């Protein structure tokens, strides 16, 4: 496993020797990195008291963690907040990403089928999430996770509490899964692997689908696919159910429905009575949300059902969920066309 520590040596052996009984330690490097930060020292106190980490080892780790201004800048302007749907869609609905999805599906067809059966999540959605997140593993991140999480925990006040918790999870995760704290790379938010799991999600939702005793989200296709499927399953996916459908609007009531947000909040029957017409049949008693997405030609409207909301639990953005949905449909259609061509 590329991300595993397979050798010991004084440094690596001591790095993960986190119980009081360990005898090898590393001297802290004073005055460098984050180790001299008073908030970091308080955090280290908590990790020692609550999780039995070795103080010298944590001081050494944080002396090598670096503040990254580019991470703060990226966190302050994510694409989901600065782009309209028409621009956002162009990033993910591309020929290369569709073809890559077909290739990924075909290469992992048996695993995807197994995951669909075990977790009840449609294979096309699993593939699309991995495609949106990392181009099927082509870009799993270039930032050291320890730098990203330290920067956001101690130098990004708007979300410092959240990322302090993620940093805690990361240290524990490294101990649980034997992950190299200092070399592991991920996104600017500290997300890791093909599916871009933040540390708390890694600990809570990643699964050892191949049964080898570790949950490897970089090098095990079974763990990667199984973990994404498990995440979506736990959040309430309904296999084969409608995700979203286009809708037309009329009258004066639809703006108020849009304002309610993207969590299903109104029955389709009530929406129809308010001038909302789905493009495809949806049960009148189904709960849905009305989305307004701005495309290059103007606004477009969609009814978002439970499965759409489940995708937003992976990334809390309706733009993200719509990109996953539309990419999943394009991949499925392209795969079916390919199979039909091979059979002709």
- DSSP state at residue 145: H
Report domain extents, the chain.
9-71+141-220
Helix/strand/coil for 4: strand
**Whether pLDDT at 44 is above 90:** yes
Q: Write out the catalytic residue numbers.
A: 133
- Give which of 230, 210, 213 is closest to 314, Cα–Cα: 230
Q: Is 294 helix (H, G, I), strand (E, B) or coil?
A: strand
What would you measure as the largest C-alpha separation in the chain, in angstroms?
74
Q: Which of 162, 225, 216 is nearest to 192 (CA)?
A: 216
Q: Residue 221 in contact with residue 111, Cβ under 8 Å? A: yes
Q: For the domain covering 9-71+141-220, report its CATH number.
A: 1.10.8.350
Q: How confident is the model at residue 139 (pLDDT cuts 50, 70, 90)?
A: very high
pLDDT of 13 above 50: no
Q: What is the mean pLDDT of residues 213-235?
A: 98
Residue 27 has pLDDT above 60, yes or no: no
CA distances from 110 to 23, 61, 123, 222 (A): 46, 41, 10, 10
Q: What is the pLDDT of residues 257-316, one digit of tens each?
A: 999 999 999 999 999 999 999 999 999 999 999 999 999 889 999 999 999 999 999 999
Separation of alpha carbons 289 and 175, rounded Å: 42
pLDDT (average), residues 130-141? 98
**Residues 53, 34: Cα–Cα separation, whole Å:** 17
pLDDT at 3 exceeding the cut of 60: no
């Amino acid at each position: 496993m590329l991300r595993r520590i397979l050798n010991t040596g004084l440094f690596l052996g001591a790095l993960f020797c986190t119980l009081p009984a360990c005898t090898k330690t590393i001297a802290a490097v004073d005055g460098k990195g984050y180790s001299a930060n008073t908030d970091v020292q308080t955090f280290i106190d908590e990790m020692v008291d609550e999780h039995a980490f070795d103080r010298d080892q944590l001081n050494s780790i944080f002396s090598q963690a670096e503040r990254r201004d580019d991470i703060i800048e990226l966190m302050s302007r994510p694409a989901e907040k600065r782009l309209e749907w028409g621009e956002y869609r162009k990033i993910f609905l591309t020929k290369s990403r569709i073809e890559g999805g077909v290739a990924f599906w075909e290469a992992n067809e048996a695993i995807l089928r197994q995951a669909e059966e075990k977790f009840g999540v449609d294979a096309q959605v699993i593939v699309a999430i991995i495609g949106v997140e990392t181009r099927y593993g082509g870009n799993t991140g270039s930032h050291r996770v320890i730098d990203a999480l330290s920067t956001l925990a101690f130098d990004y006040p708007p979300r410092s509490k959240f990322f302090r918790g993620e940093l805690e999870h990361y240290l524990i995760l490294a101990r649980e899964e034997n992950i190299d704290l200092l070399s592991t790379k991920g996104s600017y938010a500290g997300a890791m692997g093909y599916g871009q799991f933040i540390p708390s999600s890694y600990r809570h939702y990643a699964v050892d689908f191949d049964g080898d005793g570790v949950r490897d989200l970089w090098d095990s296709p079974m763990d990667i696919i199984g973990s994404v499927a498990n995440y979506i399953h736990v959040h309430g996916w309904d296999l084969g159910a409608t995700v979203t459908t286009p809708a037309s609007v009329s009258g004066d009531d639809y703006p108020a429905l849009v304002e309610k947000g993207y969590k299903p909040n109104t029955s389709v029957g009530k929406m129809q009575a308010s001038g909302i017409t789905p493009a495809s049949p949806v049960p009148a008693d189904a709960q849905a949300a009305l989305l307004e997405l701005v495309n290059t030609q103007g606004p477009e409207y969609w009814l978002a059902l439970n499965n759409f909301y489940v995708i937003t639990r992976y990334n809390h953005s309706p733009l993200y969920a719509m990109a996953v949905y539309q990419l999943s449909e394009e991949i499925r259609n392209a795969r079916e066309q390919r199979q039909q061509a091979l059979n002709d």
